[in-house]
């Protein structure tokens, strides 16, 4: 049975499913729409169609049906005060990052706040009954509608009115009565304008009949009477009936203001401010005409570009009016909307990335930037963040705490996008045909090229309506739970001694034994869980190599050996191993909070792993850690160790724990049980955790971070050791450091000596050159350099092979010497390892027939090697060190011809 069938089934029995006391008291009539046949309830005798098919659809634009005007913030105050005076508790919103459900990244509706999944059953847990909550809800399926339709948002405030029918709460009659009075009394809408339409709503594994309420064609809310569980064709009654009324606060504000779009009244003064900055002439009559047509056409066409095309035609807008007014104003709406969603998501700890829920955040920021570029809008993103947080302060004061963090994250992400642009340009320039939706998805998935960028680059003019919904589906994939293959049915829960006295030696009864596996009636062996590795030890002398939990039954795996069912066995837990793992576990909590306080509020535990001799903590963070950050995190962690703080463990009812400590307790993920175990390290760190912990932080002795690494977009891994392992590591590290620093010192010393020598040579060289060129005719010795001077205008020869001169000296002197005396040939010979090498310079005059290259070749032959070069400079050498005098004599003969 599908939704339509179940609706018609419910509608055949309106007395049972839809008729409420209010309808009788106020004289409501039940009618069927002449067009779509759906049933609706009204007190207006003249009404013939449902709100979707009436002539008054969206006639509130420019003509609101209320006497009072309320903007977004004021509208919530009205709603809240109405429900409070009618016995409801007003609850603060829950985080938009849905950490208490493993099948959702973001909170998509107010009822999600109170749903907890246990096994395959959804249970409802209400902190008060009845209650009302302004729940910010994120939805990314209709992103292309945002800014265009006048009423779609990527995040909106769902007014959640929830009740469990019992001595405190109520059921259908009172729910509809309250909603009717909210609209007519509190907001002052004429009773004749309120229409209730029969519908069915399902979600989260449960469903029920519902009444949608409309005013002037705008759906304000939907009251769902949740009473069934299962799928539509096979269902049974829930043990607990639930009133789930969800209404869009944005719409309540809009209907009282009658502005062209809901955006105009829901972002407070921000829209006006941005429009002013751009200087767009916003003729309000034109906007009213256009957006009323958009609203009407939206019901008629499924494709957004069709909706737009027809609205332009019906409203009679020129191309110029579209380009100069509508297109930029749509851009502004989109930008404000997306910024608001980013503020909520980042404040609640989500980071833009290419995985999971971060995906949508990244694409939204890129849309903001592309839209600004495409429309040449020069808004300051930080100013927009400030304006939004200031405006939302009355309803959501908590956003103040993360104001600067939101700016930091958005700036980093904007920078990243800027840096990827040249690469994206290259990819785009290679596109040779209009991309399909699948191409667009591939372009984004593998290259990060958003369709908005393609729009900015004028490659496409519209983004296909299906793009964002397809993308969002792709990334909605649920985590698959491991299926238990083992048959442990019928066994009772294992008594967990490690949560009680935690004895390291104990006796237990064998309830089941098969292959290498043993189930006991009670155990002190910690089963793998929460990233903590299992205990080892022995059962009846056999080694325990693995311990795992299946439901509430603990399974021990033995290395070898068989144990008889029904026997009582003696068990020993390896307490050294357990102690080390425990220290690592508590250290994980300490490092997690240390990282958050050093890096920023966006840091959450992503995952963790705790073994005996090493552990790691993966945290959400935008960049790789710097050395300075690592040192600061480690120091803060060790200061907590030094303070010897108490670690306390208390069990709370889940709802109580959430209200008391907030959702930060879910660092290790969701807790699928009603009672949560809260581990507190005084007020430094408070988490829900099922692992083993030290009693005092001092037991940890020391925490050492051994390595950090960015393992994926938005996630950084911190590898660390603690306890004695950390002390050993630190000792070894000191030794390594000492060795390294000694090596460094030697290197520095050598460098210094060379530097000194060079300085010395720099001063010595001009004098040396002066002395050589001043030599008289004949053979002279200047500082162990043999100088042979002939008559003016004839070649001179100069050679050096003293051990005090190195390669650098010969090159420096040769250069200078032939510069000063163009008739000079310089020949320097020196040993280099097992070789003898020669460097030859020939002056400009002498070089014409006494080429350096030739001399080097000849000398190298004598030395038993090879060489060559140019007329001016050459080098060569060989292995025969005993021939160095011969080589120089040969060179001298070549030059002087004697």
Using CB under 5 A, list all residues that contact Zn ion.
33, 35-36, 50, 52-53, 689, 691
- Per-residue 3-state assignment (H helix, E strand, C coil) for 364-382: HHHHHHHHHHHCCCCCCHH
- In the bound complex, what is the minimum distance in angstroms from residue 7's beta carbon to Zn ion? 13
Query: Which helix (H) or strand (E) covers residue 314, if one does?
Result: helix 304-315
**Nearer Cβ to Zn ion (53/872):** 53
**Nearer Cβ to Zn ion (78/580):** 580
**Nearer Cβ to Zn ion (39/225):** 39
- In the bound complex, what is the minimum distance in angstroms from residue 666's beta carbon to Zn ion? 11
- In the bound complex, what is the minimum distance in angstroms from residue 50's beta carbon to Zn ion? 3
Q: What is the DSSP letter of 844?
A: T
The distance of Cα 19 from the centroid of its chain, to the nearest Å, equals 48
Reduced to 3 DSSP states, what percent helix, strand and coil does the chain have, rounded to the nearest 5?
Answer: 45, 25, 30
Query: How many H-runs (helices) and E-runs (strands) does the chain carry?
Result: 26, 33
3 state SS of 577: helix
R_g of the chain computed on alpha carbons? 40
**Nearer Cβ to Zn ion (448/691):** 691
**Nearer Cβ to Zn ion (30/470):** 30
**Nearer Cβ to Zn ion (593/842):** 593
**Nearer Cβ to Zn ion (288/694):** 694
3 state SS of 506: strand
Give the angle subtended at the CA of 795 by the CAs of 792 and 798, to the nearest 5°. Answer: 110
**Nearer Cβ to Zn ion (66/582):** 582
Other beta carbons within 10 Å of 205: 16
d(CA 8, CA 692): 55
d(CA 282, CA 262): 16
- In the bound complex, what is the minimum distance in angstroms from residue 514's beta carbon to Zn ion? 32
Residues 6+ apart with CB under 8 A from 7: 198, 199, 200
How would you classify the pairing of strands 835-842 and 873-878?
antiparallel
How would you classify the pairing of strands 873-878 and 867-869?
antiparallel
- The dihedral over CA atoms of 885, 890, 894, 897, expressed in degrees to the nearest 10, equals 90
**Nearer Cβ to Zn ion (220/825):** 220
- In the bound complex, what is the minimum distance in angstroms from residue 300's beta carbon to Zn ion? 13
- In the bound complex, what is the minimum distance in angstroms from residue 721's beta carbon to Zn ion? 17
- In the bound complex, what is the minimum distance in angstroms from residue 733's beta carbon to Zn ion? 27
How would you classify the pairing of strands 505-514 and 495-496?
unpaired
- In the bound complex, what is the minimum distance in angstroms from residue 667's beta carbon to Zn ion? 7
Query: Are residues 161 and 123 in contact, defined by beta-carbon separation less than 8 angstroms?
Result: no
Q: Go through the chain and tell me how many residues it has.
A: 898
- In the bound complex, what is the minimum distance in angstroms from residue 197's beta carbon to Zn ion? 8
**Nearer Cβ to Zn ion (325/671):** 671
Q: Where are the alpha helices (DSSP H) in 348-450?
A: 358-374, 381-392, 403-419, 421-429, 437-447
Query: Are residues 648 and 685 in contact, defined by beta-carbon separation less than 8 angstroms?
Result: no
Query: Tokens 């994206």 belong to which residue?
Result: 424
**Nearer Cβ to Zn ion (494/532):** 532
Dihedral sign for Cα atoms in the order 86, 91, 92, 97? negative
- In the bound complex, what is the minimum distance in angstroms from residue 242's beta carbon to Zn ion? 28
**Nearer Cβ to Zn ion (230/529):** 529
Q: What is the DSSP letter of 696?
A: B
- Name the nearest CA neighbour of 109 among 158, 59, 56, 51: 158
**Nearer Cβ to Zn ion (64/691):** 691
Query: Tokens 């609850």 belong to which residue?
Result: 91
Q: What is the DSSP letter of 400?
A: G
Residues 6+ apart with CB under 8 A from 711: 618, 717
Residues 6+ apart with CB under 8 A from 367: 143, 334, 338, 450, 452
- In the bound complex, what is the minimum distance in angstroms from residue 690's beta carbon to Zn ion? 7
- In the bound complex, what is the minimum distance in angstroms from residue 165's beta carbon to Zn ion? 31
Where does residue 413 rank: exposed (0-12), middle (13-18), buried (19+ CB within 10 A)?
A: buried
- Omega within 30 of 0 (cis) for the link into 130: yes
**Nearer Cβ to Zn ion (53/550):** 53
- In the bound complex, what is the minimum distance in angstroms from residue 526's beta carbon to Zn ion? 12
Query: Are residues 520 and 558 in contact, defined by beta-carbon separation less than 8 angstroms?
Result: no
**Nearer Cβ to Zn ion (520/671):** 671
- In the bound complex, what is the minimum distance in angstroms from residue 54's beta carbon to Zn ion? 8
**Nearer Cβ to Zn ion (689/836):** 689
- In the bound complex, what is the minimum distance in angstroms from residue 213's beta carbon to Zn ion? 15
**Nearer Cβ to Zn ion (288/689):** 689
- In the bound complex, what is the minimum distance in angstroms from residue 592's beta carbon to Zn ion? 9
- In the bound complex, what is the minimum distance in angstroms from residue 493's beta carbon to Zn ion? 22
d(CA 92, CA 90): 7
**Nearer Cβ to Zn ion (145/588):** 588
Residues 6+ apart with CB under 8 A from 789: 775, 776, 777, 778, 780, 796
- The dihedral over CA atoms of 433, 437, 443, 444, expressed in degrees to the nearest 10, equals 150
- In the bound complex, what is the minimum distance in angstroms from residue 665's beta carbon to Zn ion? 11
Query: Are residues 826 and 841 in contact, defined by beta-carbon separation less than 8 angstroms?
Result: yes
Residues 6+ apart with CB under 8 A from 272: none
Query: Are residues 838 and 868 in contact, defined by beta-carbon separation less than 8 angstroms?
Result: no
């Amino acid at each position: 049975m599908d939704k339509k069938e179940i609706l018609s089934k419910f509608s055949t029995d309106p007395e049972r499913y839809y008729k409420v006391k209010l309808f009788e008291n106020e004289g409501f009539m039940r009618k069927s729409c002449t067009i779509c046949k759906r049933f609706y309830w009204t007190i207006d005798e003249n009404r013939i169609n449902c709100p979707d098919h009436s002539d008054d659809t969206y006639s509130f634009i420019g003509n609101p049906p209320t006497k009072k005007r309320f903007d977004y913030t004021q509208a919530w105050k009205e709603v809240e005060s109405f429900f409070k005076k009618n016995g409801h508790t007003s609850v603060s919103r829950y985080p938009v990052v849905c950490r208490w459900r493993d099948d959702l990244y973001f909170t998509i509706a107010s009822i999600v706040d109170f749903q907890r999944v246990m096994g395959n059953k959804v249970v409802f847990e209400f902190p008060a009954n009845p209650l009302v909550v302004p729940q910010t809800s994120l939805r990314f399926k209709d992103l292309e509608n945002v800014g265009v339709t006048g009423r779609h948002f990527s995040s909106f405030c769902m007014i959640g009115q929830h009740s469990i029918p019992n001595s405190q709460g109520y059921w259908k009659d009172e729910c509809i009565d309250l909603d009717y009075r909210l609209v007519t009394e509190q907001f002052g809408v004429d009773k004749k304008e309120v229409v209730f339409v029969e519908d069915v709503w399902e979600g989260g594994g449960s469903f029920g009949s519902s009444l949608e309420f409309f005013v002037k064609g705008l759906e304000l809310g939907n009251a769902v009477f949740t009473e069934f569980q299962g799928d539509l064709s096979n269902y049974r009654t829930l043990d607990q009936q639930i009133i789930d009324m969800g209404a869009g606060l944005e719409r309540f504000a809009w209907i009282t203001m009658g502005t062209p779009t809901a955006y105009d009244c829901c972002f407070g003064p921000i829209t006006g401010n941005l429009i002013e900055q751009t200087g767009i002439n916003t003729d309000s009559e034109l906007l009213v005409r256009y957006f009323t047509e958009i609203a009407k056409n939206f019901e008629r066409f499924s494709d957004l570009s069709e909706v737009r095309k027809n609205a332009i035609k019906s409203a009679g807008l020129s191309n110029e009016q579209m380009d100069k007014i509508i297109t930029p104003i749509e851009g502004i709406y989109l930008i404000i909307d997306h910024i608001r969603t980013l503020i909520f998501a980042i404040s609640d700890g989500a980071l833009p990335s290419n995985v999971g829920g971060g995906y949508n955040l990244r694409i939204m920021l890129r849309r903001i930037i592309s839209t600004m570029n495409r429309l040449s809008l020069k808004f300051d993103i930080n100013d927009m963040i400030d304006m939004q947080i200031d405006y939302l302060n009355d309803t959501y004061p908590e956003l103040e705490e993360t104001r600067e963090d939101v700016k930091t994250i958005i700036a980093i992400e904007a920078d990243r996008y800027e840096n990827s642009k040249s690469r994206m340009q290259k990819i785009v320039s290679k596109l040779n045909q209009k991309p399909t939706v699948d191409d667009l998805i591939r372009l984004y998935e593998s290259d990060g090229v958003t369709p908005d960028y393609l729009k900015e680059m004028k490659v496409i003019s519209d983004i296909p309506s299906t793009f964002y919904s397809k993308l969002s589906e792709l990334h909605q994939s649920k985590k698959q739970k491991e299926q238990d293959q083992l048959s442990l049915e019928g066994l009772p829960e294992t008594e967990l001694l490690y949560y009680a006295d935690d004895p390291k030696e104990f006796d237990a009864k064998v309830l089941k034994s098969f292959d290498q596996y043993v189930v006991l009636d009670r155990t002190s062996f910690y089963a793998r869980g929460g990233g903590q590795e299992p205990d080892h030890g022995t059962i009846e002398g056999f080694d325990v190599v693995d311990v795992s939990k299946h439901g509430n039954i603990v399974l021990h795996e033995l290395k070898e050996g068989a144990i008889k069912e029904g026997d009582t066995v003696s068990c020993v837990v390896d307490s050294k191993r357990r102690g080390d793992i425990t220290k690592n576990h508590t250290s994980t909590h300490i490092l997690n909070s240390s990282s958050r306080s050093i890096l920023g509020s966006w840091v959450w535990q992503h995952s963790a792993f705790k073994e005996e001799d090493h552990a790691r903590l993966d945290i959400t963070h935008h960049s790789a850690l710097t050395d300075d950050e690592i040192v600061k995190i480690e120091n803060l962690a060790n200061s907590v160790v030094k303070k010897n703080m108490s670690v306390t463990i208390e069990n709370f009812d889940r709802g109580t724990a959430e209200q008391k400590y907030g959702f930060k307790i879910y660092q290790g993920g969701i807790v699928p049980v009603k009672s949560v175990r809260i581990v507190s390290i005084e007020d430094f760190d408070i988490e829900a955790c099922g692992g083993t912990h030290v009693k005092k932080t001092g037991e940890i002795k020391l925490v050492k971070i051994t390595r950090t690494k960015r393992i994926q977009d938005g996630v950084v891994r911190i590898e660390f050791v603690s306890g004695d392992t950390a002390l050993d590591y630190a000792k070894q590290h000191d030794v390594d450091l000492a060795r390294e620093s000694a090596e460094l010192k030697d290197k520095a010393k050598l460098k210094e000596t060379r530097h000194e020598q060079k300085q010395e040579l720099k001063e010595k060289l001009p004098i040396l050159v002066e002395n050589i060129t001043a030599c008289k005719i004949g053979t002279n010795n200047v500082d162990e350099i043999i100088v042979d001077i002939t008559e003016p205008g004839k070649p001179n020869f100069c050679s050096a092979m003293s051990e005090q001169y190195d390669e650098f000296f010969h090159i420096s002197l040769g250069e200078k010497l032939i510069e000063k005396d163009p008739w000079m040939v310089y020949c320097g010979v020196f040993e280099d390892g097992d070789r003898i090498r020669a460097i030859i310079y020939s002056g400009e005059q002498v070089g014409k027939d006494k080429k350096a290259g030739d001399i080097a070749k000849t000398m190298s032959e004598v030395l038993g090697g090879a060489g060559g070069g140019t007329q001016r400079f050459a080098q060569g050498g060989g292995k025969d060190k005993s021939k160095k005098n011969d080589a120089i004599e040969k060179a001298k003969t070549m030059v002087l011809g004697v």
